[in-house]
A and B are shown apart, each in its own frame.
Chain A
């Protein structure tokens, strides 16, 4: 019986750390987002104010081009980066399966995954540099004028979005590769006997069986795109003139450059609302399955 009374000790260290350094700060940030800088409770006024700032949403962008504001930039990141990551991740996994030297190539691709994202941002800046970078180098080879692509408002965000494929597609590839290995070869043999073409086998067998993996890749990429920070910080610092600014970076600017914790809290809460909405279904399901 004494035994049972000691059992809470298993949980105490973890719960104390979580409560002090995760749960309390989260609650505190939510609370801060409802307060004016003077400390009065103003409900949703901060939200209305912050979301109407040009650095968050800038409707003028739709006439004149970048910047569109951090929130819109994050949505652009999602719209472009998410589908490309999922498709390229799957394509790479399929192509590299059973190819001579496939595991070597996988290791190379995977290097992008273990790269610190702050280094990833520097490498993207390097790749897009007007004189030294490979991408403008190719532009020159094709007869164009090479620019530092990250230094112009029209191309800064798009170069980062497309460049970050190089950093994040490996994640999709690894998961899909692992998923492909779990599909038993008898399934394909049976389909082959029935006279199925490789293409219909892919769409009728491979893809449906990989659905759980796709779900994970989509969710994790969604989160990655919403939380993107280091890459932008290192490559452009959100510039030029806010043309590649994103939510996480704007939060940092509000909190630690303008010393406005309330506006920063609003951005953080918007970010968390989005990530929670996206991730909740997957998290709840996997926690249930684990039972």
Chain B
């Protein structure tokens, strides 16, 4: 019995060590962000003097070269439509794949699923040229279009799996009563799949908000840069200004952390749901 208690205790200890290892970098970032640079230059873990200040946050928010205030607004302008559009477009198509019968369906579905593995580098050069021809390069709308297309394969896959678990009887009954496909989808199916839609929305929002590469290629005017693009610009000229830089990373992480805090259940469900059935 004592041996059992000892194992349990050592397991608890191990668990807390893991937690500690994972929180230390965040703790360091937090400490560096609320203290003046002079105080932390020999390690943020030294507390001989400790003068918490919000100066770094204000500095990052109103940074002369790359103000994050502007970046956060720009990021929202991309992330919100970049979540809603693909969700809607992919959900409709996913319903079609789950319920309609037509030739080549399996191949079409398989092709779309395979698009999930394409690296972003594979579209970089042509997408820049396309957007330039469309006059959409360096506009949030152009980036929203690319993110929408990029999000479709996995949302479609995820939603299709979800639709095929729904009982078909309700839909059939509605059809017998003369409801059209569109009415069945919008009035009966869509209300039943709100949890799955929230899961997809959470993942897609995180993905678009956190994206750096596509933004790097398509947005280049200083006042249009997204939040993630401004992070490298906060480094400072001659030495790294760790206070402003770490404060900036915290500001940019606010959106994903808030979403995660309130919708953790959906996030994990989405993550687990589409990779393992």
With contact pairs A15-B93, A276-B114, A286-B277 given, residues A21 and B123 touching in the complex (Cβ less than 8 Å): yes
Task: Give B212-251 as 1s and 0s: 1 = Cβ < 8 Å from A's Cβ atoms.
Answer: 1100110000000000100110000000101001100100
Cross-chain contact A111 with B22 (CB below 8 angstroms): yes
Task: Give B141-160 as 1s and 0s: 1 = Cβ < 8 Å from A's Cβ atoms.
Answer: 00001101110110011001
| Residues 87 to 122 of chain B near chain A (Cβ within 8 Å) | 89-90, 92-93, 95-96, 100, 102, 106, 109-110, 112-122
Cross-chain contact A283 with B113 (CB below 8 angstroms): yes
Binds A, one of B11-19, B53-61, B166-174, B192-200: B11-19
Cross-chain contact A105 with B89 (CB below 8 angstroms): no
**Contact residues of B: prevailing secondary structure:** helix
Q: Does B43 contact A (CB under 8 A)?
A: yes
Cross-chain contact A111 with B217 (CB below 8 angstroms): no
B216 to chain A, nearest CB (A): 8
Which of A32, A119, A122, A127 is within 8 Å of B125, CB to CB? Answer: A32
Cross-chain contact A13 with B93 (CB below 8 angstroms): yes
Which of B41, B157, B256 is within 8 Å of A290, CB to CB? Answer: B157
With a 10 A CB-CB cut-off, give which of A13, A174, A275 has the most chain B CB atoms.
Answer: A13
Task: Give B253-277 as 1s and 0s: 1 = Cβ < 8 Å from A's Cβ atoms.
Answer: 1001101100010011001100111
Residues of A within 8 A of B276 (CB): 175, 178-179, 212-213, 216
With contact pairs A14-B92, A22-B123, A28-B126 given, residues A132 and B242 touching in the complex (Cβ less than 8 Å): yes
B72 to chain A, nearest CB (A): 13
Binds B, one of A43-51, A52-60, A185-193, A221-229: A221-229
Binds B, one of A75-83, A201-209, A263-271: A263-271
Binds B, one of A61-69, A96-104, A152-160: A96-104
| Residues 237 to 291 of chain A near chain B (Cβ within 8 Å) | 247-248, 251-252, 255-256, 261, 264-265, 267-269, 271-272, 275-276, 278-280, 283-284, 286-287, 289-291
A247 to chain B, nearest CB (A): 8
Cross-chain contact B15 with A279 (CB below 8 angstroms): no
Residues of A within 8 A of B116 (CB): 279, 283
B271 to chain A, nearest CB (A): 6
Question: Residues of A at under 8 Å CB distance from B?
Answer: 3, 6-7, 10-11, 13-15, 17-18, 20-26, 28-29, 32, 92, 95-96, 99-102, 104-105, 107-112, 114-119, 122-123, 126-127, 129, 131-134, 137, 166, 170-171, 174-175, 178-179, 212-213, 216, 220, 223, 226-227, 229-230, 233-234, 247-248, 251-252, 255-256, 261, 264-265, 267-269, 271-272, 275-276, 278-280, 283-284, 286-287, 289-291
List 8 tightest A-B contacts by C-beta distance, closest first.
A21-B149, A25-B126, A10-B96, A25-B123, A116-B210, A105-B19, A14-B93, A279-B117
Question: Residues of B at under 8 Å CB distance from A?
Answer: 11-12, 14-16, 18-19, 21-26, 28-29, 32, 40-45, 86, 89-90, 92-93, 95-96, 100, 102, 106, 109-110, 112-127, 130, 145-146, 148-150, 152-153, 156-157, 160-161, 164, 180-182, 185, 206, 209-210, 212-213, 216-217, 228, 231-232, 240, 242, 245-246, 249, 252-253, 256-257, 259-260, 264, 267-268, 271-272, 275-277
